[in-house]
Structure 1
Amino acid sequence: MKPLVRNAALSSYVEVSKSLGIDPRSLMMRVGLDPVGLTVQDRWISGVAVAQLLELSAAASRHEDFGLLLAERRRFSNLGPISLVIREEPDVRSALELLVRHEYMYNEMLHSRLSEANGLATLKLSLEPGEAMTARQSIELAVGAFHHLLRNFLGTRWQPVSVCFTHSPPADTGTHRRVFGPVVEFDRDFNGIVLYADDLNTPNPMSDPLLRTYARQYFESIALSRGATELDRVRDLIEVLLPTGRCSIEQVAGSLGVDRRTVHRHLAASGETFSSLLNATRTQIAEQLVANPRRSLTEISGLLGFSAPSAFSRWFGERFGCSPRQWRLRRAEQQRFPAE
C-alpha cells in the first residue's frame, strides 16, 4: 500500500487555511480527506492526499509559503510517542539520529539521512509518495519542521550553514528568509539542512537524566514493530470514518491510496473481511459509548455511523442480545452491585 502519515502532519492546517481566506473543509474533501478525522492526531491517512492538499491550498491561497507557514506552528507533540523520547536524549546528535532512524513512526513517506564530513553535518530529506507528483509544499513543511526542531535544542538565535531546496525560489522569499535567515538557497541538488558538526554535540537543555531510562524503556516497548499492520491501518480508518456516516471500503481504500480489491486481499491474509472488521470495531466502540450514561443513544447512533437510531438498536440487539437501553441498565447494576 502507499505510504501513510499521521494526522498530525496537518496540525494547524485548519487555522492556517482560514487565516489565508480559504475553506479547509472543501479542499480536504477534494482529496478524499475527512476534516473530522483531524481531531485524532495518532490516526494515519494517505501521504499522497496530504501532499495534494498542501499544493491545492498553496494555489487557492496564492501563498507559495503555505507549507512553511504550517511548519512554524510545529510542536514536539506532533511527532507522536517518539517526542517523549527525543526530549530526554542527552544531546542534539542523539535526538536527531533517533528521529532519522525511526521516521516510519510518524511519516512513512519521508526519508531522511544524516551524514558528517569536513566539520559539517548534512541532513538530507526526500519524499517517496509512490507516484509522480508535485510535493513542493510537503518538502518545505518537512525541512521547516526539522529546522524548528533544531532551534528547540540549539536556541532561537541558532542558524544553520545553509537551508537547501531543489525547487526554484518563490516570487516572494520574505517568509523563507524570516524563518531560515539569509542562508536559504534554492535550485540546489538536495533538500535539507547543513550545519556545523559541532552543533550536534550540544547538550540537550530539556533532558532530564532521571527520566531518560524510563523514556528509553517506553520507546523500546512501542518501537519493536516497524509500523502498523495493514489490518491496524484499516481498523484505524474505520474508527475515524464511522462518525462521518461514510465508512465504506471504497472510502477506506481511497484514504490508503489503493483500490478496494487490494484492501480485500490484505484483510483476507489476516482472516478478516471488511464487514467483520467493521462489526468488530463498532462492537468495541459501542461497549465504551453505551456504558457512558452521559451520552444519549441517539448521539451514539450517529458516532457509530448509523443513519437512524432504529438501525443502531437493531444492530445492537443482534450483537448483544438486548437493546442498548437494557444493556446500559444491566451494566449500571453490575457496577452498583459487583459480584462477590
Structure 2
Amino acid sequence: MQLGDISVNFVELVREACHKLNVDPMPVLNEYGVTPETLASPKARISISRFMRIGQALISTANQPALGLFMGQALRISHMGLSGYAAMTSPNLERAIRLWIHYESLSSVNKRGSSRFYLTEESGVAQFYSISPYNEFNYFVVDCLLSGWSALAHWITGQERLLKEVEIEFEAPPYAQHYQQAFNCPVKFGRSRNALIFRKEALLLPSIYANPATHSEIVSICNRELTTLVGATSLTERVKQIITPMLQGREVGLTETAKQLGLSEWTLQRRLKKEGVQFQQVLDETRKQIAETYLKATDLTIGEIAYLLGFSSPAAFHRAFKRWFGVNPKPFKDQHASGRTDENTATGENT
C-alpha cells in the first residue's frame, strides 16, 4: 500500500528551485529513477515516500534546509495542472482557493488526509492536512504547500498582505528566519494545524486573470476528470481512504466511517459485503498495509507507527504485527533498512 502519490509537476518544481540555488538536481533525480522523460510524461506520478526522499537528498546536496519554502515561492500556475487554470480564471480569490483545494486529488493523493478550506467570522482558512509526526523528511512538504498556496494567491490577485498569519504544527525549525520572507506575516509554530489564515476582505479580491467562459470550460473538464477518478475507486478503497487519517491515536468505528461517506451503517455493511469484505476486515487490512509501508519506507519509530495506526499502546501494535507477519516489527524494520527502496511508482511513471 502506498502512502499516496504526487504529480511529477512537483518534482519539476523542486528541480527549478534547485536551479535557482545554483544546484544541479539531476544526479539525485537520476538516483531515484526520475528522468527527463518521466518529467515530460502526461499524468505521471511518483510515490509520496519517494518524493520525500528526493526532497531530503536535495536539501542535503544544496545545504539548504529551507528548500521547501524556496519551492513554494517558485510555484507557478502550470505546476498545478488543470486545477491551477480553474483557479486563475476564477472571479475572486475565495473561489480560486476553494477550487485548487477541491481538485487536489487530480495532482496528488495522500492516505493521511486531504486539504480543506473554510470560513470563520473574521477569516478564511486554507488548511493542509496533518502529516505528523514530523522529522527531516517531511518538514519541506508542509513548507512547500503552504508557501506555494501563498505565492499562488499573490499571483492571482496581484496583491500583497493577503494573510493575517500562518499556523504550522511542528515547532520552529533551525531555519525559522526564512518564514518571514516567504509569508510576510506572523508565523506561529507548534499549533494544532497547518494553515494559511487569509484576511476576509482579501477573499473578495478579483483574479486579474478572471475569464467566465474559460473558467466554465476548465471547471467542466476538472469535474469530468474528478468523476472518472472517483468512479474508478471501489467502496473498499474509499473506506481505506476515510479510515487512514482518522486513525491517529484512537480507534475508528463503523458509525463515523459511514457518516463520512454519507451512508447509513446498514448500507455501508451491505455494500462492503457485495465486495466480499466486512468493515473490521478493511480496518485490519488498512492497518497492516500502512504498517508495512511505514516500516519499509520511512524512518518513523515503532511507537510513532503504533500511534498513527490508532493502537492503544506499542504492545498492542506488536501483537497485531506478529499476527499479520509472524515476526515482531523491529526485526522486520531492520531487515528492510539496509536495502530500503521506495514504494512502487504510480501508473504512468517511467522507471
1:255 aligned counterpart, secondary structure? coil
Distance (whole Å) between structure 1 residues aligned to residue 232 and residue 29 of structure 2: 25
The Cα offsets for residues 299-322 of structure 1, whole Å up to 9 and x where unpaired, read as xxxxx99xxxxxxxxxxxxxxxxx
State how 1:307-318 maps to structure 2 within 5 Å: none
C-alpha deviation, 1:20, in angstroms: 4.2
1:179 maps to which residue? 182
**Paired letter, 1:120:** S
Does residue 215 of structure 1 match 2:218?
A: yes
Match for residue 344 of structure 2?
A: 254
Q: Once the two structures are superposed, what CA deviation does each residue of 1:161-200 show, in whole Å capped at 9, x if it has no partner?
A: 1112222323343432112114122222211111122322
Give the 3 Å change call, closer, same or farther, for CA 128–178 of structure 1 in structure 2.
closer
Distance 1:81 1:184, change over 3 A: same
Deviation at 1:132, TM superposition (A): 9.5
Matches within 5 A, 1:162-201: 162-201=165-204
Match of 1:225 in 2: 228
Distance 1:212 1:62 in 2: 41
Aligned to 1:16: 17
How much does 1:33 deviate?
A: 3.6
Aligned CA distance change for structure 1 residues 133 and 105 (closer, same or farther; 3 Å):
farther
Q: Confirm or deny: 8 A CA contact 2:83 2:104 kept in the other structure.
A: no
The one-letter amino acid of 1:61's match is A
Q: CA deviation at 1:106?
A: 1.0
**Corresponding letter in the other structure for 2:184:** G
Query: What TM-score, normalized by structure 1, do the two folds share?
Result: 0.61
Q: Percent identity?
A: 14
Contact 2:165-2:188 at 8 Å conserved across structures: yes
In the TM superposition, what whole-angstrom CA distance separates every residue of 1:9-44 from its partner, at most 9, and x where no partner exists?
122433433554655233234444445412336311
SS at match of 2:56: helix
Q: Which digits, 9 at most, give the CA deviation of each residue in 1:125-155, with x for residues without a partner?
A: 02659x9983111111011111111112333
- Paired residue secondary structure (2:344): helix
Match of 2:118 in 1: 115
Inter-partner Cα distance in structure 2 for 1:170 and 1:253:
28
Superposed CA RMSD: 3.3
CA distance in 2, matches of 1:61, 1:212: 39
SS at match of 2:69: helix
Corresponding residue for 1:90? 91
Which residue matches 1:38? 39
Name structure 2 gaps, 5 residues minimum: 234-340
In the aligned structure 2, how far is the partner of 1:255 from the partner of 1:137? 21
Q: Which residue of 2 aligns with 1:149?
A: 152
Higher relative contact order structure (alpha carbons within 8 Å, sequence separation ≥ 6): 2
CA distance in 2, matches of 1:127, 1:108: 14
What letter corresponds to residue 88 of structure 1 in structure 2? T
Deviations, residues 67-106 of structure 1 (Å, cap 9, x unaligned): 1111111111111122222222222222211222221001
- 1:161 maps to what in 2? 164
Task: Check the 8 A contact 1:6/1:42 in 2, yes or no.
Answer: yes
Q: How many residues align?
A: 240
Whether the 8 Å CA contact 1:32–1:254 is kept in 2: the answer is no
Output the amino acid matched with 1:60. Answer: T
One-letter code of the match for 2:137?
T
Question: Which runs of structure 2 are paired with 1:41-80 in the superposition (5 Å)?
Answer: 42-80=43-81
C-alpha change, 1:17 and 1:132, in structure 2 (3 Å) is closer
- The structure with the larger Rg is 1
* 3-state SS of 1:207 partner: coil
Q: Secondary structure at the match of 1:122?
A: strand
User: Which segment is superposed worse, 50-59 or 65-74?
Assistant: 50-59
d(CA) in 1 for partners of 2:202, 2:145: 20
Q: Do 2:50 and 2:343's aligned partners in 1 also have CA atoms closer than 8 Å? A: no
Please give the TM-score of this superposition, normalised by the length of structure 2.
0.59
CA distance in 2, matches of 1:126, 1:187: 15
